[in-house]
Chain A
Amino acid sequence: MSKVSTLEDEVAQLIVETLNLEIDPSEIEPEAPLFREGLGLDSIDALELALALSKRYGFQLRSDDKNNRQIFSSLRALSNHVEANRVKNS
């Protein structure tokens, strides 16, 4: 359990750094939506984030992945996807 939350912190940090958000990573609610409501991210951010995830964790996002909407639905969902797909340990 603690390992999951560590990765969550790491991904939160990555989101804030990559997108220049004016918040502290700890302020991102794990279950809150990242796009539109919640953090209010958009498709430009999605592309930026995909590049950062690929660089850090070594896997590629695909938009025809049926779970794409699910993957970006919250910090927790994104962290779970990273956990399941990462090929690099940062």
Chain B
Amino acid sequence: MDTLPFLKGFELTDIVAWRGKQSVDCRRFLGDVARLAERMPDRAHVFNLCDNRYRFLVGFAAALVRGQVNLLPPSQAPQLLQNIARRYSDVYALVDNDNRPADIDVLRYPENSKPELTSPPVPCFSSAQVAAVTFTSGSTGEPKANVKTWVSLVTGADMARTRFLSALPSRAAIVGTVPPQHMYGLETTILLPMQAGLAVHDGRPFYPEDVRIALEQVPAPRILITTPLHIRACVTERTALPEVEFMVSATAPLSHDLAQQAEDMFSTRVLEIYGCTEAGSIASRRTIEGEWWRTYDGMSLYHQNNRCFVQGPQLSEAVELGDLIQLRNACEFSLHGRTTDLINIAGKRASLNDLNHKLNEIEGVRDGVFFMPDEIPGKVTRLMAFVVAPTLTVQEILGELRQYIDSAFLPRPLYRVDSLPRTETGKLPRAQLRHLAARLETSGDKAESA
């Protein structure tokens, strides 16, 4: 059976990671992986919840060494973890922070103070081994599992390397502001560097000043893996970033103007990746060059019955895309908004049906609906909600919702109303909701929403 190595392009003395300013070479990394693998309990599934990117990386590799599947939840919300854990009864959690998911066994990441002098060989894994399961919100209320085999992840990393790294003069260092548990972060800050001989910084800088410091801790050439939110923050602050070879943005659309400002201010190139959790990265573009995206080599898109699908060598079957897409040819396309059920707030994705379902399950809610207002460029658009619940206060409804949904989707504002403008067939046309929103906003009736 064919196997594929965890690392490609590394000598034992090459740098795999930067822990702050401190380098970790390949020998040390392999020792850390082997030692953690020995400590892992004999289970089939592990929630890899490590915040620190190096610990996540070691945990990810160690799980594979033990034949365990990395479960990667979109957040660490307790209800979400328990919901997933019900389906993987033997799951335990690898953690490096103080979060203690209730009712789930925990292995705290053991920092290894004494590196070993000899190092184990680079581990290789069977192509078909399930390396990770990522989760997306389904429309039924249950998180949907997306299974990633080792070969699919390696193939994705190879395509990204071909696209982004062929022109790089030497081994680069990657700094990422996105979590490794997210498919975009996993592909770009874990798999790409390990499969392309690059080093990765262990932090997850958040504020502009954090980004600057993390970038300064690694040598050039530097690559920044980030989002439109962070790029906008750094541009707004005019952060004095060190030289960055290129930035990659994903999770939400990046405007042409912002990309141009960032390119000018930081003397860099701003590239964007388009993808989804189910298929991983699909295509890229340099934002300032226009609206057309080019698929990774080997991937292609097609329409069928007004739905758009992507296919590629790493996908066992075609994956439907949640965006309205115009094809110039099978490998070039432009984006024209989301199909209606799926929404995206700062890179977090949810199904409106699912959110509505959860809202209406709250005891005391007679009727309720979420509404995504029209987007205003440059601002994060938030959901609002209209709820018929005579016996509940707004705070009570929000308190219930908070237990089940990510805070990014909490309605802002939440309006209590007497009834929803349903049509005779029970539908809620978007135009009606937009009208209702406008009326409530201008009425200035803050008592209802606060």
24 contacts between A and B (CB under 8 A): A20-B412, A22-B450, A24-B450, A37-B402, A40-B407, A40-B410, A42-B407, A42-B410, A44-B229, A44-B346, A44-B380, A47-B206, A47-B207, A47-B230, A51-B233, A51-B236, A51-B237, A55-B236, A60-B207, A61-B207, A62-B207, A62-B213, A63-B205, A63-B210
Q: Does A36 contact B (CB under 8 A)?
A: yes
> How far, in Å, is A13 (CB) from chain B's closest CB?
15
B407 touching A36 by the CB < 8 A rule?
yes
Return the CB mask of A6-40 against B: 1 if under 8 Å, else 0. 00000000000000111110010000000011001
A48 to B156, CA, bound (A): 33
Choose among A23, A40, A47 the residue that contacts B402 (Cβ–Cβ < 8 A).
Answer: A40
Q: What are the residues of chain B within 8 A of A4 when measuring CB–CB? A: none
B229 engages A47 (CB within 8 Å): yes
Q: Report A61 CB to chain B, min CB distance, Å.
A: 5
Inter-chain contacts of B233 with A (CB < 8 A): 47, 50-51
Most buried by B among A37, A40, A47, A50: A47
Main secondary structure of the interface of A (DSSP, over half): loop
- Of all chain A residues, which has the CB nearest B209? A60
Interface size on A, residues (CB 8 A): 25
A44 surroundings in chain B (CB, below 8 A)? 229, 345-346, 380, 408
Q: Mark B394-429, 1 if CB is under 8 A from A, else 0.
A: 000011001000111010110000000000000000
CB distance from A36 to the nearest CB of B (A): 7
Interface pairs A-B: 3 shortest CB-CB: A42-B407, A22-B413, A60-B209
Contact residues in B for A54 (Cβ distance below 8 Å): 237
B450 to A, closest residue via Cβ: A23
Report if A21-B229 is in contact (Cβ < 8 Å); known contacts: A36-B407, A62-B210. no
Whether A63 contacts B412 in the complex (CB less than 8 A), given A22-B446, A24-B446, A40-B402, comes out as no
The answer, among B210, B408, B446, B449, for a CB contact under 8 Å with A64, is: B210
* Closest residue on chain B to residue A50 by CB atoms: B207
- The contact of A23 among B209, B345, B380, B446, by CB within 8 Å, is B446
Is A43 an interface residue when CB atoms closer than 8 A count as contact? yes
Given contacts A22-B413, A60-B209, 15 further A-B contacts (CB under 8 A): A22-B446, A23-B446, A23-B450, A24-B446, A37-B402, A41-B407, A42-B406, A42-B410, A44-B380, A47-B206, A47-B229, A50-B233, A61-B207, A63-B207, A64-B210
From A20, A21, A22, A55, residue with most partner B Cβ within 10 Å: A22
Residues of A close to B207: CB separation below 8 A: 47, 50, 60-63
B-side contacts of A37, CB under 8 Å: 399, 402
A60 and B412 contacting across the interface, CB-CB below 8 Å: no
What number of residue pairs across chains A and B have CB atoms under 8 A from each other?
A: 64
Residue B74 is within 8 A (CB to CB) of chain A in the complex: no
**What is the CA–CA distance of A61 and B207 in the complex, to the nearest angstrom?**
7
B208 within 8 A of A: yes
Compute how far the CA of A61 lies from the CA of B413 in the bound complex, rounded to whole angstroms.
27
With A and B bound together, what is the CA distance between A43 and B254 in angstroms? 19
Nearest-CB residue, chain A, relative to B394: A22
Contact B208 A60 (CB under 8 A): yes
Q: Which residues of B contact A47 (CB under 8 A)?
A: 206-207, 229-230, 233
Q: Which residue of A lies closest to B445 (CB)?
A: A22
B380 cross-chain contacts in A, Cβ below 8 A: 44, 48
Chain B nearest Cβ from A38, distance in angstroms: 10
Q: Which residues of B contact A36 (CB under 8 A)?
A: 402, 407
* Inter-chain contact B446/A43, CB cutoff 8 Å: no
Query: What's the minimum C-beta distance from A23 to chain B, rounded to whole angstroms?
Result: 5
User: A36 to B346, alpha carbons, bound, how many Å?
Assistant: 17
Report the bound CA distance from A45 to B207 in whole Å: 12
The chain B residue with its CB closest to the CB of A42 is: B407
Q: Known contacts being A22-B450, A40-B410, is A60 close to B237, with CB within 8 Å?
A: yes
A1 to chain B, nearest CB (A): 28
With a cutoff of 8 Å between Cβ atoms, the chain B residues found around residue A64 in the complex are 203, 210, 213
Which residues from chain A contact B210 at a C-beta distance below 8 Å?
A: 62-64
Distance in Å: Cβ of A56 to nearest Cβ of chain B? 13
How far is the CB of A54 from the nearest CB of chain B, in Å? 6
Complex contacts, A63 vs chain B, CB 8 Å = 205-207, 210
Residue from B206, B345, B402 having most chain A Cβ neighbours under 10 A? B206
Q: Which residues of B contact A24 (CB under 8 A)?
A: 446, 450
Closest to B379 in A: A20
Q: Mark B187-209, 1 if CB is under 8 A from A, else 0.
A: 00000000000000001011111
A50–B236 CA distance with the chains assembled, in angstroms: 11
> B237 contacts which chain A residues (CB < 8 A)?
51, 54, 60
